[in-house]
Amino acid sequence: MGSFSVGLFNDSFPPLIDGVSQTVKNYATHLHDLDCDVTVVTPNYHGVEDRYPFDVLRYPSVSVGEKVGYRVGVPFDPQTLVRLRAKKLDLMHVHSPFASSVLVNAVNHRPRVPVVLTYHTRFDLDIQKRVPTAAMRKVAMAFLLDNVNSADEVWVVTGSSEKFLRDIGYEGSCRVMENGTDFARGKATETMITALRERYHVYEDKLVFLFVGRMMWYKNTRLILDSLEILRQNGMEFHAFFIGEGYDAPDMQTYANEHGLQQQVTFTGAIHDREELRAYYSLADLFLFPSTYDTCGIVVKEAAACDCPSLLLADSCAAEGVVHGQNGYLATEDPAAYAAVIMDSCADRAALHACGEQAANSLYLSWKDAVGRAHARYNEILREY
């Protein structure tokens, strides 16, 4: 079929930075380029001005505390329901099975349109960490499963992440639909890379490591810092950058200082300029991402775009498609083991850089291509529906 209208529903969107908010932004951008009538539906944040070629419909929200860092949408706002029903969407795509799913179910009737849901995140871990009692956790898990089951088609972002969908009790079918990256393939300009080297006094004789993500302990950042301490004790010359923001950032900086890493580690905060961020990836020799929380590390594709190999945990979702020593590196979840792989991989920098080139060849996927696949599937769903 020709152009159609699609609603993208998520509980976060820029200026808040996380993997799923960036996913929705890139879906919206490339679907708009494919002549779709796109509406992003997301909770309101105070003072936000949305300047996009597609519509962004913000609805009322409430804070759930500084530690969580997100606002929760109020999905039963009467004005929001009226505005959405007037949109007459042809298809709705849910990227968070909480307030976004409730809102979709409240809007979607007479006539009903197909609903796609992407299961992006280890929501079961969020519930275990943030819901205080066993009884409340049971209710929350049932609510989560009901929202997943309400979709007509469920997508996962990696094949290995299907397991987490099954763990919450989902028994239906699902389809793998990969995420991409908005980085062009290739390193940043030498001018930008040189500027970073001079800014931090990090020259080519010193190894550079990088982590990009939310500054939360659940990203396994403690493992990175413990591994870096081992490297320092073994006399390795390196500098590591931690890019991102989050509630645990001050504690991480304190932890790094307490472990003697003041000179080796820089916490930059969030970097919103994508070309500047690309320069950090291009500067780095190795991207460190030991997360077991993420179902798909978009940041791994960002690193691959810049010929930077990643060190991941074996059997993690982020490690899907990585063959140790060929297009990336794998380690077990132990600081000593993780540090040992860093030392081994960095012993031959030529081989390290060749590994990065293979990462670009095998792991890189642009958002244009990723969303193109989603758009083709949308068309199939609409024809079948």
Give the CATH number for residue 132: 3.40.50.2000
CA distances from 214 to 1, 19, 94, 284, 368 (A): 39, 9, 22, 19, 25
DSSP label at residue 327: T
What is the C-alpha R_g of the chain?
A: 21
Kindly tell me if the per-residue pLDDT of 123 is higher than 90. no
Q: 122: exposed, middle or buried (C-beta count within 10 Å: 0-12, 13-18, 19+)?
A: buried
Average pLDDT, the chain: 94
Looking at residue 97, the DSSP 8-state letter turns out to be T
Q: Same structural domain for residues 197 and 300?
A: yes
Q: Quick one: 357 and 244 in the same domain?
A: yes
Residue 42 domain flag = yes
Reported as a pLDDT band with limits 50, 70 and 90, residue 3 is confident
Q: CA-CA distance, 181 to 301, in Å (whole number)?
A: 6
Contact criterion met (CB below 8 Å) for 303 and 288: no
Q: What is the span of the domain harbouring residue 232?
A: 190-363
Distance between CA atoms of residues 330 and 316, nearest Å: 9
Asked whether the predicted pLDDT for residue 67 surpasses 80, the reply is no
Residue 71 shares a structural domain with residue 144 = yes
Instruction: Give the residues across from 313 on adjacent strands.
Output: 331
Separation CA 122–CA 249 (nearest Å): 21
Based on the domain organization, do 238 and 169 belong to the same domain? Answer: no
Count of domains in the chain? 2
Q: Is 185 among the domain residues?
A: no
Same domain, 176 and 204: no
In this structure, are 240 and 280 located in the same domain? yes
Same domain, 323 and 222: yes
Q: Are residues 352 and 371 in the same domain?
A: no
- Of the pLDDT bands very low, low, confident and very high (cuts 50, 70, 90), residue 206 is very high
Mean pLDDT lowest among 67-76, 247-256, 315-324, 364-373: 67-76
**Nearest 10 degrees: Cα torsion 334, 335, 336, 341:** 90
